Structure 1
């Protein structure tokens, strides 16, 4: 039932609309028109005012004609940079960009699939229960759209986020994450004439970092310090340095423990400084942000059993997966909504080598159709 040519055309159309984070207004307008033309009711929430985007999250509701709990379907409208002026190239059934930008399959392959699935449902008069499509903004810069989603617009308690690669897997376990920022303040001085009068903020940062275990801590936990900025010139003792990083873990206690260990390392370096510590220097300001919570969907939850049954009906496999990444599904989980993450086939995302096979998008569309059919009949 999935029309591969139409799906490809829809995808081509969507990636031609620039929608980098905080600039999703144009694509939201087009999507609103498309779904309303199918008979859906739409709403745009106020998340844009909070995130700085030129639009809010787009919520699309199809009432359906079968009694069933509402089913959530999710994708995000924003892309990463370089994501302006995308020229999609289709060759041998594979979409790529022209090479100077990302492709935007993350996550417009998902949106194209959702449009195609709803089109097929309508044109074939296929019975289905209530469907709530949530298209978020600013996912790529911290899941901000989902975090500020107006939950009064949502009735569904479970569903699927289309935001992964594997078309035969469903992500049911994802880590929680903390974002960390350290601002170390030292004292500037001439590096050649009077270095003893300075307090080198970069050296203090180096000592703190040297005492840390970075990378994979164990099978559940990782941490990374990814940004360090400081210094003005080689002949000036640096008075300030900024370090940003993260901790992720599938275990909330380990997340807290590793976060606290990193904080302690920075604080102890300042506390144990042996030089002139007048005027409150050196000092460190610590900022910890709860980025997103863990996702842990039980194997026997409807989201899992429904996806596995749908795949089996199509003669395919569907395995539950653990990921180290975060998605809107993490935020939904913290709000009481179980959302398994399924793939669209997109590969090498966030790079100019990004690609997606039309056949993979078709496969996900077929899977989603089968899920919706089974869901409407109580599978």
Structure 2
């Protein structure tokens, strides 16, 4: 029977979330914020202290570690568990003050630092499943950072359990913590030789039991509008304002479909995320999402056509359309290695949970890692209401996730 130390896991998680690790999408450094390394340093030292081997914190903020195999079988694949240390730029991650709510009674929780922030079952129905259990929130003026410090804490606690219980047989277990996942750069500087695994799992999912083996395929798109500049005092018949053209392109986008706010499930979208420029030259940035490559092509063609119609109305104006690949649907790779997902499903079931196999309306480090030679689905941690002040997590979900990791290590060894 696997019994994860609840108090140790809670203390670990609450300690980690108090370290400010917010990443910065506008930064050109790597990692995008030096403060992410503050947590990476802590993790490296704790891994060394618990007895992990080959522990390294590199110049980019990645943490690598190994729990060596203790099985006599020589054909057990090396398995990697990965989470990211950074928190999202969407909401402040400075001076996070986590609150442990023991024996949650189902009533509304008013967060003390901002009493307009009220956590309720009505708004967060998943709370219903945590009545009688313990949950953790922030204090109302920051995010909590469960995305993805819950994954970090779960992996660390599972690692401690495996090291402390050498009778549990397993192959080489690799641990990787990445920076900058929230700004799309989580594996930009990763060293796959140091990862040294054949298969992997990110711990970056939501509801207990969820197993995500499919992600969006994702692109960026930029529409660069070149206007015609003239002195505003003498501009009649000459000036073509790129900023106004950009506004017209945005106004031409449909409002009842094709956007994040109007789509769900397997529907893709196009989403404007930035507008920068002056009257002479303006750039609109978009993210483009779909589950298929064909869908991405269709979205790009449609967006480009809308922009061309608008720009074509203005004499002298020109445009460029720049498409940038970000990541691809992990399922294309995972379908070639069915045991990776099957073993995770079996581990979740052994932990006493029902498997909820889902697709991600987004991506994880695993999306990129899968195409870098490490097939890598995503396993739950329990995180809820991520990237906002009402973020919360159930302690029992984190315990079950840590238990799932241990079972997963055992299953790979058993099946070898």
- TM-score, scaled to structure 2: 0.80
CA positional deviation for 1:218: 9.4
Matched, 1:345 2:345: no
* CA displacement at 1:212 relative to structure 2: 4.5
- Is the counterpart of residue 41 in structure 1 residue 51 in structure 2? no
Deviations 1:196-223 (A, max 9, x none): 3310223322444455453249935221
Q: Which of 36, 43, 63 lines up with 1:58 in the alignment?
A: 63
Q: Is 1:293 matched up with 2:331?
A: no
1:294-325: CA deviation from partner (whole Å, max 9, x where unpaired): 11023971122112222332332113211211
**In the superposition, relative to structure 1, how do residues 129 and 27 fare at CA in structure 2: closer, same or farther (>3 Å)?**
same
Does the CA-based 8 Å contact 2:41-2:57 persist in structure 1? Answer: no
Residue 234 of structure 1: aligned partner: none
What aligned pairs does 1:132-151 form with structure 2 within 5 A after superposition? 132-142=174-184, 144-151=185-192
1:195 Cα deviation from its structure 2 partner = 4.4
Equivalent-residue separation in structure 2 for 1:320 and 1:91 (angstroms) = 29
Contact 2:208 2:353 in 1 (8 A): no
* 2:79 pairs with one of 66, 71, 75: 71
Distance in 1 (alpha carbons) for counterparts of 2:293 and 2:240: 37
Residue 96 of structure 1 contacts residue 353 of structure 1 at CA under 8 Å; is this kept in 2? yes
| 1:5-51 per-position Cα deviation (integer Å, ceiling 9, x unaligned) | 110000111112221222311111111111112232123345x2xxx
Structure 2: how far apart are the matches of 1:78 and 1:40?
24
Alignment of 1:200-239 (within 5 A): 200-213=241-254, 214-215=258-259, 216=263, 219-229=266-276, 238-239=279-280
CA separation in 1, counterparts of 2:200 and 2:318? 47
2:83 is paired with a residue whose SS is: strand
Compared with structure 1, are the counterparts of its residues 194 and 312 closer, same or farther at alpha carbon in structure 2 (3 Å cutoff)? Answer: closer
Structure 1 residues 227 and 292, CA, compared in 2 at 3 Å: closer, same or farther?
same
CA spacing shift, 1:301–1:14, aligned 2, 3 Å: same
**Out of 322, 335, 341, which is 2:359 matched to?**
322
Quote how far apart the aligned CAs of 1:355 are: 0.8
SS at match of 1:199: coil
Q: In the alignment, is the contact (CA less than 8 A) between 1:45 and 1:150 conserved in 2?
A: no
Task: Using the TM superposition, give the Cα deviation of residue 159 of structure 1 relative to its aligned residue in structure 2, in angstroms.
Answer: 2.2
Q: What's the C-alpha RMSD, in Å, of the aligned pairs?
A: 2.3
CA contact 1:59–1:153 (8 Å) conserved in 2: yes
Q: How many aligned residue pairs are there?
A: 358
Instruction: Tell me the TM-score normalised to structure 1 length.
Output: 0.87
2:98 touches 2:136 (CA, 8 Å); kept in 1?
yes
Structure 2 CA distance, aligned partners of 1:299 and 1:88? 41
Match of 2:391 in 1: 354
Quote the offset at 1:242 in angstroms.
2.5
Q: For the structure 1 residues 292 and 378, does the alpha-carbon distance in structure 2 shift closer, same or farther, using more than 3 Å as the test?
A: same
Three-state SS of the structure 2 residue aligned to 1:140 is helix
The structure where strand makes up a greater share of residues is 1
User: Is 1:160–2:201 an aligned residue pair?
Assistant: yes
Shift of 1:153: 1.4
Q: 2:37 aligns with which of 13, 17, 25?
A: 25
